[in-house]
A = this chain, B = another copy of it.
Amino acid sequence: MAASKPAIPKGTRDFGPDDMVKRNYIFETIKKVFRNYGFLSIETPAMENLDTLLGKYGDEGDKLLFRVLNSGDFLSKSDTKVLSEKNSAALSSQICDRGLKYDLTVPFARFVVQHRNDIQFPFKRYQIQPVWRADRPQKGRYREFYQCDVDVIGSNSLLNEAELLSIIDKVFEQLSIKVLIKINNRKVLAGIAEVTGSGDQLTDLTVAIDKLDKIGMEKVKEELLSKGFSQKTIEKVEPILIFEGSFEEKLNFLKKYLSTSAIGLNGIEEIMKVGEYSSKMKIKSEIELDLSLARGLNYYTGAIIEVKALETEIGSICGGGRYDDLTGIFGLPDVSGVGVSFGADRIFDVLQELNRFPEGENARAKLMFVNFGEVEANYILGIIGNIRDAGINAELYPDSAKMKKQMTYADANKIPYVALIGEEEMKNELITLKDMKTGEQVSATLDAIIKKLS
């Protein structure tokens, strides 16, 4: 067979040992916090039936689904006309029944409905798995990437929103990333539309103001005009967008502004309640009320949450909100949920940029025995088990290669200590331990070495 030139599909990645140590650090930190708050893990298959996925992400989303070809003679039942016309779109639905999951949310909804009789509600689940999108690859956007979702489903209580804010606070504290947590509420947005007389154009309104951060006030106004909003409406909206003040001040301003909108006032109440719970929980990160925050408005029905890293220019690293009818599409209506998703790739970039990854000692060998030959290797086999059993990751270089080669291996693999055992050491039952950073060498007994490295 001719040797094929090895490569991987565009937009996908290999993760070598160094990346894996860092990625696992992120995932393990997040998981530990999720568990600490009583969330349970689930996993769903990579493939879902296409009828589970189609129609859930809009037309654009449907196009980004990776479809899996049916096995065997997949063309046997396909339409001859579709084939002769080379109608790709029509054929794809005849030859593919399955696709790769596009996110964790729709499979989770499917999971909840399918297993509703086995689930104890409220259901607090987390899920950390890869998802796939046939998007055009670009810097920071991949065709395979992990999502880390945490949701509570089957409870209307605003305590859940506060718990999620506390989880966010804790995760980023443990990762040593300073963040700003922005919150908003869909009901407040609905109230603004109501009092400005644009209730029927809620989507257009929020899509426009969601861009405030990026394009500025003048452009937002232009967009609103182009969408048919009257000058009068725009003048009514502007004060809200330019109002600056503390969390309290914003709320007081809003209360007056939305005094004629029942849904708006309800949104304010929700924000206040979540704020109150959050302060009880001693959340350390700053929480900002950002009225321009919308994040896929058609999806969220209450709280909207987004997290920004304060020390870098990288955008949102976590986000989510409350949704009221996720499972309705699968025939189980009136189940409210709230959740957030952590962006592992962006968190990776932030930690990399700020140089805040720890050394990752537990994931690497801490000690390497140099291999001087058969006799020494046999001797080492008799003691290396004691070191490993003490929880110290250790290895014996498998070949009696040149010293330089063995040292290069230890260096490249970031192994902090190297043990040398020659004739002298065996005779005296000692181990010579070299600190790879300082170059310092000491001779000590096995027990002393174990104690030192534990």
Q: Chain A residues in contact with chain B, CB under 8 A?
A: 1, 3-9, 12-17, 20-21, 24, 35-38, 40-49, 51-52, 55, 63-64, 66-69, 71-76, 78, 83-84, 86-88, 91-92, 95-98, 100, 110-111, 113-115, 118-120, 122, 124-125, 130, 132, 134, 143-144, 152, 155-157, 159-160, 162-163, 166, 170, 276-277, 280-282, 328-331, 362-365, 368, 371, 377-378, 381-382, 384-385, 388, 391-399, 408-409, 412-413, 415
Contact B8 A20 (CB under 8 A): no
Given A9-B48, A88-B72, A330-B6, are A398 and B16 also a contact pair (CB < 8 Å)?
A: no
Contact A398 B1 (CB under 8 A): no
A231 → chain B closest CB, angstroms = 38
Contact A114 B42 (CB under 8 A): no
Given A21-B41, A41-B21, are A330 and B3 also a contact pair (CB < 8 Å)?
A: yes
Given A378-B277, A398-B160, are A331 and B5 also a contact pair (CB < 8 Å)?
A: yes
A386 → chain B closest CB, angstroms = 10
Max chain B Cβ within 10 angstroms of own Cβ: one of A64, A281, A398: A398
Determine which of B6, B48, B84 lies in contact with A113 in the assembled complex, contact meaning CB atoms within 8 Å: B6
Given A67-B69, A398-B152, are A20 and B46 also a contact pair (CB < 8 Å)?
A: no
Determine which of B40, B45, B67, B95 lies in contact with A17 in the assembled complex, contact meaning CB atoms within 8 Å: B40
Q: State the CA gap A95–B42 with chains docked (Å).
A: 34
- A156 contacts which chain B residues (CB < 8 A)? 399
Tell me whether chain A's interface is mostly helix, strand or loop, or mixed.
mixed
Contact B280 A413 (CB under 8 A): no
Q: State the CA gap A5–B409 with chains docked (Å).
A: 55
What are 9 A-B residue pairs whose CB atoms fall within 8 Å in the complex?
A8-B47, A8-B110, A16-B115, A20-B43, A36-B394, A76-B86, A159-B377, A159-B399, A277-B381
Contact B132 A46 (CB under 8 A): yes
Given A69-B69, A71-B134, are A282 and B385 also a contact pair (CB < 8 Å)?
A: yes
Contact B67 A68 (CB under 8 A): yes
Given A47-B12, A75-B87, A122-B398, are A4 and B329 also a contact pair (CB < 8 Å)?
A: yes
Q: State the CA gap A64–B377 with chains docked (Å).
A: 44
Q: State the CA gap A217–B86 with chains docked (Å).
A: 57
Who on chain B is nearest to A280 by CB?
A: B381
Contact A41 B17 (CB under 8 A): yes
Q: State the CA gap A162–B159 with chains docked (Å).
A: 54
Q: State the CA gap A20–B115 with chains docked (Å).
A: 15
- A368 contacts which chain B residues (CB < 8 A)? 38
- A397 contacts which chain B residues (CB < 8 A)? 122
